[in-house]
Amino acid sequence: MKNKVFKTLTASLAVMFLLTGCGGNKKADTKESTKKSSESSTEVTTGASEKGYTDPKDMKDEYDIIIVGAGGAGMSAAIEAKNDGKNPVIFEKMPVAGGNTLKSSSGMNASETKFQKEQGIEDSNDKFYEETLKGGHGTNDKELLRYYVDNSASAIDWLDSMGIKLNNLTITGGMSEKRTHRPEDGSAVGGYLVDGLTRNVFEKEIPLFVNADVTEITEKDGAVSGVKVKVEGKEKEIKSKAVVVTTGGYGANPEMLEAGRPDLKGYVTTNSEGSTGDGIKMIEKLGGQTVDMDQIQIHPTVQQDNGILIGEAVRGEGGILVSQEGKRFVNEMDTRDNVSAAENKLKEKSAYLVFDSGVKERVKAIEFYEKQGFVTKADSVEALAKELKIDDKALTETVDTWNKAVANKKDAAFNRETGMDNALDGKEYYAIKIAPGIHYTMGGVKINSNTEVLDKDGKAIPGLFAAGEVTGGLHGENRIGGNSVGDIIVFGRQSGKQSAAFVK
Ligand SMILES: Cc1cc2nc3c(=O)[nH]c(=O)nc-3n(C[C@H](O)[C@H](O)[C@H](O)COP(=O)(O)OP(=O)(O)OC[C@H]3O[C@@H](n4cnc5c(N)ncnc54)[C@H](O)[C@@H]3O)c2cc1C
């Protein structure tokens, strides 16, 4: 490797950073808590920090393409730009790469994939399109959505070609087919994906600078000319003909959140500390258009003490939601907005996610939740009810009725139709107390399917590209679980290719 490797971060430091950097998280201030967390999945990384980042001393004054933000979109962009013969650089403001991508848990949606075909799942891009449009209440940007679904299968192949195999399929709320792709062992997608992408970034010798905070995108004669970046306390101006903005959303920026949705004040967030909307603000200064800035997704299953998300796969693999009265109150596989609204209607404004040892085996992330101390465990439904101070007869009746619904493939109470492959009849029963939390920002900068950023007249700003959660429109008013990891790979790749074509 030509670049000098900057080896100050260890894996355990990265883990510690992630735990403390998760909006509202308690500090992981003991060696023990760090060690325990590093053993599991959703909130951790391994390879990225072990391999190291580029030494700030090796920063050049000019690159072909500057990529701002080292999440999934940014690293996909960098790899494709490099594949097309260009010299990209990635600037990441946090001490580790990964952003919200590192936290993603349930998986990546894609249709007509080779893994679906291998497993006999009949799916179509049109069905994926229609269900996503329905989930977004018909408000999705149709040009972006069409490009997204049509390129989702090739995104899965592209990852596979780089040693990132997502061949274990599950389902998320609002979808009718198993199209949520996750790692073979059913573990959380984020750590695995970020490890794989950073490994490829390093192998391709793409410079990746961390603690490199981009503060401004510069322009000259109406075209983008580079960025200003703060490194080691000094601001530098770096030139490039194209800038790709992949800075993620604003789920950890209370001012931006409250500007769009004042009613969400005080909600816990699942987002990483770097999700502060910087890219949106910088692009707005260049005259870029924004869309859907008031569309903020709250996720129905968030642990409230530290903002850790309990992945949708727990419900997708058979978990149910029950109130303090021991009763189900919603179709758990309905879209996130509807499930969250149903929880907010409960007296307690919180509920229990109840599952059994079978679900635990199928969703590896549960081991992580257990190690964090979120999970109540019991040998029977009655014993679980007692632990939760729920009426044991009510909970037993709920679980029995649910298991009959699974057997008959008919949920008369709430018309749930998915996540019903297995009854809740394992040796042990578990519950996690959850409530809604801020999760995803659907709004962002407006792009076309070439990932060019559009100004207020709908014209492309020369040399300016964006991909991932920083953009708005694809998901409309409600994002379907699994569609963001799909988004960042599909449009991250596209922004790398289009920016490479732009600089020629
Ligand atoms: C807990 C959790 C679980 C999730 N699970 C799923 C899931 O299972 N499936 C799914 O589809 N989606 C999921 N999502 C959503 C999904 O993970 C994100 O929307 C997606 O990963 C965003 O990717 P990105 O590359 O656009 O941004 P990010 O991954 O957030 O990366 C953006 C990066 O840019 C950096 N940055 C920001 N500003 C600057 C700046 N000024 N200068 C330099 N760098 C900057 C940030 O620090 C960050 O590292 C989940 C989200 C969370 C929070």
* Rg of the chain, C-alpha, whole Å: 22
Ranges in the chain annotated CATH 3.50.50.60: 1-295+442-504
| b/e burial code for range 346-374 (CB count within 10 A of at least 16 → b) | beeebbbbbbbbbbbebbbbbbbbbbbeb
What is the sign, positive or negative, of the torsion defined by CA atoms of 22, 26, 30, 35? negative
Residue with tokens 């969250």, as numbered in its chain: 340
The class of domain 300-438 in CATH terms is alpha beta
Is 336 part of the annotated catalytic residue set? Answer: yes
Ranges in the chain annotated CATH 3.90.700.10: 300-438
pLDDT of residue 51: 56
- Structural contact between residues 274 and 206, judged by C-beta atoms closer than 8 angstroms: no
Ligand 1 atom with minimal separation from the 97 CA: 49
Task: Give the closest residue to 74 by CA, choosing from 197, 160, 254, 175.
Answer: 197
- Test site for ligand 1: of 45, 148, 247, most ligand atoms within 8 A of the Cβ: 247
| Assigned token pair, 58 | 């090796």
275 touches ligand 1 (CB under 6 Å): yes
103 touches ligand 1 (CB under 6 Å): yes
How many whole angstroms from 70 Cα to the centroid of ligand 1? 9
How many whole angstroms from 118 Cα to the centroid of ligand 1? 30
Residues with Cβ < 8 Å from 21, sequence gap 6 or more? Answer: 94, 272, 273, 274
pLDDT of residue 18: 38
183 touches ligand 1 (CB under 6 Å): no
Q: For residue 503, give the 3-state DSSP assignment.
A: helix
Tens-digit pLDDT string for the chain (504 aa): 333 333 323 233 333 333 333 333 322 222 222 222 222 333 333 334 445 899 999 999 999 999 999 999 999 999 999 999 999 999 999 999 999 999 998 899 999 999 999 999 999 999 999 999 999 999 999 999 999 999 999 999 999 999 999 999 999 989 999 999 999 998 889 999 999 999 999 999 999 999 999 999 999 999 999 999 999 999 999 999 999 999 999 999 999 999 999 999 989 999 999 999 999 999 999 999 999 999 999 999 999 998 999 998 899 999 999 999 999 999 999 988 899 999 999 999 999 999 999 999 999 889 999 999 999 999 999 999 999 999 999 999 999 999 999 999 999 999 999 999 999 999 999 999 999 999 999 999 999 999 999 999 999 999 999 999 999 999 999 999 999 999 999 999 999 999 999 998
pLDDT of residue 106: 87
pTM for the whole thing?
Answer: 0.86
358 touches ligand 1 (CB under 6 Å): no
- C-alpha dist (Å) from residue 253 to 82, 94, 103, 294: 32, 15, 17, 13
pLDDT of residue 267: 92
How many whole angstroms from 470 Cα to the centroid of ligand 1? 9
Which residue's CA is minimally distant from atom 50 of ligand 1?
104
H/E stretch holding 38 reads helix 31-38
180 touches ligand 1 (CB under 6 Å): no
How many whole angstroms from 275 Cα to the centroid of ligand 1? 7
Ligand 1 atom with minimal separation from the 101 CA: 21
- Test site for ligand 1: of 25, 304, 485, 494, most ligand atoms within 8 A of the Cβ: 485
Instruction: Give me the catalytic one of 315, 328, 336, 362.
Output: 336
The class of domain 1-295+442-504 in CATH terms is alpha beta
332: phi then psi, degrees, rounded to nearest 5: -60, -20
d(CA 207, CA 82) in angstroms, rounded, equals 11
